[in-house]
Copies of this chain bind each other. A is one copy, B any other.
Amino acid sequence: MLPTKSRQKSALVAFSIMACFASPAASETRPAIGSTWSSMTTGELITAAPADAWQQIEQSQLLYLEFDPPAGSGTGPARVIIQLAPDFAPNHVAALKELVAKDFFNGKSIVRSQDNYVVQWGDGPAATQAGFRGGQMTAEFDRPIGRDFKPFELKDGDVYAPKVGFWRNWPVAWDPAQKRYWLPHCYAMVGAGRDEGADSGGPAELYAVNGHSPRGLDRNVTLLGRVVLGMEHFATLPRGGEAMGFYGETQSKPRIIRAVLGSQLPEREQINLQALRTDHAIYPQVLESRRNRRDSWTKFKAGRLELCNAPLPVRIAPKE
């Protein structure tokens, strides 16, 4: 995990919060399940995770967003893949799929890039004008806790929520007293922009968190997904020159080539993604390996882990 080239110092070792792609070790070199997990680093654990620790992400829950880079950037089209969250925002996800089926996003633009805040794309008013429910709809800021809500609690505490943890491979916050749960604004989370009214937004205009998580927005906007591949293409977009990072009239807005569900794509174009199961026995070890790092570089073990710093690894599935 430490730099191998002498020039590459710093050893600021980390996995990104949302997307982490490990080359799985060949199965014969894998340790017996759990045998040595307690001494492994985060990277080693992800590599060692057995097949049953990985959960396929359905192509129908993956939004492939392709867009032209900013003019003059010298790079080719970019692709970002977003996993949708029907367990948290079922109506928004359904309305988003309707928009995608109508090619709504194709030809629209990325309209905003604000440093340390959000990237935003789409066009809510246009969707409303065209009669799509995804332009303006009833908010899904949080949801009632039902019988199926069985999160794994992160007991390190949280500044913003009474309880935090993981459920179905997502970060989650909840309030046992109010019996409500919600998605937190972690890096790479995707939500629906809105105007003044709680019900003035919808999935026709989306944003992704590109900096230190604006957790103060929790329960103020409907979060409906997370970027699981290509977040760097959003994060590196030139910042907008107008207030709140909107691109001005004279700035080129990256044009969306197309937004399609994985299930609309021919199989050869699908990216086979898997998420590490947060209900698998290896996951507490993954968290512990970040709470108290097991590499020799670390001199002072933090002993604590913040929700938005918890690894939620996603990988490209190994070839059969």
**CB-CB nearest in chain B for A14:** B117
Interface 9-residue window, one of A46-54, A84-92, A195-203, A273-281: A195-203
Alpha-carbon distance A14/B212, docked complex (angstroms): 12
Closest Cβ of chain B to A124, distance in Å, is: 5
Alpha-carbon distance A12/B141, docked complex (angstroms): 14
Q: Mark A291-320, 1 if CB is under 8 A from B, else 0.
A: 101001111101011101100000000000
Q: Mark A197-224, 1 if CB is under 8 A from B, else 0.
A: 0101100010100111111111111000
Closest Cβ of chain B to A23, distance in Å, is: 11
Q: Which residues of B contact A214 (CB under 8 A)?
A: 12, 14, 309
Q: Which residues of B contact A18 (CB under 8 A)?
A: 116
Closest Cβ of chain B to A282, distance in Å, is: 20
B12 near A207 (CB under 8 angstroms)? yes
Interface 9-residue window, one of A29-37, A55-63, A235-243: A235-243
B116 near A16 (CB under 8 angstroms)? yes
B212 near A111 (CB under 8 angstroms)? no
A187 near B212 (CB under 8 angstroms)? yes
Does A3 touch B at the CB level, under 8 Å? yes
8 more A-B residue pairs beyond the given contacts A17-B116, A187-B211, A219-B299, with a C-beta to C-beta distance below 8 A: A2-B196, A9-B194, A10-B195, A10-B221, A13-B244, A17-B212, A116-B188, A236-B239
